[in-house]
Amino acid sequence: MEYNIKVWRQRNAKTKGHFETYHVTDVEEDASFLEMLDILNDQLIRQGIDPIAFDHDCREGICGACSLYIDGRAHGPDDQVTTCQLFMRHFQPGATITVEPWRSAAFPVIKDLVVDRQAFDKILQAGGFISVRTGAAQDANAILIPHDDAELSMDAAACVGCGACVATCKNGSAMLFVAARVSSLALLPQGRPEAARRARAMVAKMDELGFGNCTNTRACEMECPKHVTIDHIARLNREYLKARFSE
């Protein structure tokens, strides 16, 4: 199979980017999208052209690094998958496929399809953790947690921090990401002692870093590869309001 790949090329954060179209051949229909880019890069290198820079790590849908906007959708034309889980059988042979980096002021382009997502790390550093005394951990079975709460916490913790929610949202909001982190801890007893500080600090850092506001369009929920729902945004709002009223 062969395709025309219309891809964003940008040498660095300070230069102006543009689209280039390349023809890639010898692609199996069961190849992943990232494997297709590997094949294209091999062809470009043989032609003396600088290969396309793109981010990846585990290629198993776990790390969230493979953040690409493909044919107008975050992670491409399939549901609840990361880019590395997207296969070329979803595209018609000979099709022109448009590939872009995440578009968000908070995620500046580093090179080509690679963006700087340190903003998410800074939000986590602001409060997306619990403080514990190491070496004296209580046995897990001694802390009783309702099954439904544990399941909801795990659903929120499934967020891989890929940034699809931000790239999809018309406002560039990071509310779904922040909500997933806050909700996963708010539902557990270990997260309650620092709940108020956590909600205030993470929301404040999100605003400081230039992410937009949530207007409940649910686009983030629809494109999240782990199907994190906006129910968690509702919980974040409750946690934040309680924190503000307790000041």
Q: What digits encode the pLDDT tens for the residues 90-148?
A: 999 999 999 999 999 999 999 999 999 999 999 999 999 988 777 766 676 677 899 99
Contact residues for 104 (Cβ-Cβ < 8 A; gap 6+) = 115, 163, 166, 167, 172, 211
* Residue 247 scores a pLDDT above 70: no
Q: How many Å apart are CA 237 and CA 246, to the nearest integer?
A: 14
Mean pLDDT for all residues in the chain: 94
Q: What number is the average pLDDT over the span 26-38?
A: 97
Q: In what order do the strands lie in the sheet with 69-70?
A: 18-24, 3-9, 96-100, 69-70, 73-74
Q: Are 225 and 82 in contact (CB under 8 A)?
A: yes
The tokens of 192 are what?
A: 């309650």
Q: What digits encode the pLDDT tens for the residues 169-211?
A: 999 999 999 999 999 999 999 899 999 999 999 999 999 999 9
* Residue 11 scores a pLDDT above 70: yes
Which of these, 107, 86, 228, lies nearest to 173 by C-alpha position?
A: 107
Instruction: Kindly list the domain boundaries of the chain, sorted by start residue.
Output: 3-111, 117-245
Q: How many Å apart are CA 136 and CA 131, to the nearest integer?
A: 13
Fold of the CATH domain 3-111: Ubiquitin-like (UB roll) (3.10.20)
CB-CB neighbours of 212 under 10 Å: 18
Residue 131 pLDDT: 86
* Residue 163 scores a pLDDT above 90: yes
234 forms beta bridges with none
Fold of the CATH domain 117-245: Fumarate Reductase Iron-sulfur Protein; Chain B, domain 2 (1.10.1060)
Q: How many Å apart are CA 35 and CA 15, to the nearest integer?
A: 28
